[in-house]
């Protein structure tokens, strides 16, 4: 499966300040493997929530912005104990202020299938 968000996007959006070095620049921060794992976990949860509405041809460049934002929020949920319930609330399917990931994805879901 292709990553729909990049480590660089997550680093910038969540202000992680991951260490980079080399030419070309590569992430060398000791947290990098854990962040990459959390990107995969969040992406899996988001795509599972979308079910048949997820497109196998999406890439980091072509995925809808709501999907990439939801994945980044999912990573934040996995990193931040205070936000750890964001992914759990996705299972309710009810969008709202207590479910920001669900609110982003709600317009993309087919209610008959969800």
pLDDT at 14: 97
E strand or H helix at 71: helix 65-79
pTM: 0.89
- DSSP one-letter code for 18: -
For 81, the 3-state DSSP assignment is helix
- Which pLDDT tens digit goes with each residue over 27-40? 999 999 999 999 99
- Which pLDDT tens digit goes with each residue over 36-59? 999 999 999 999 989 888 899 999
């Amino acid at each position: 499966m292709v990553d729909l968000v990049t480590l660089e996007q997550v680093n910038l959006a969540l202000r992680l300040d991951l260490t980079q070095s080399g030419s070309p620049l590569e992430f060398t921060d000791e947290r990098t493997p854990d962040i990459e794992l959390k990107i995969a976990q969040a992406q899996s949860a988001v795509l599972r929530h979308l079910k048949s509405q997820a497109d196998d041809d999406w890439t980091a460049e072509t995925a809808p912005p709501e999907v990439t934002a939801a994945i980044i929020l999912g990573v934040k949920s996995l990193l931040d104990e205070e936000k750890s319930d964001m992914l759990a609330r996705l299972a309710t399917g009810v969008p709202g202020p207590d479910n920001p990931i669900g609110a982003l994805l709600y317009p993309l879901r087919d209610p008959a299938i969800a």
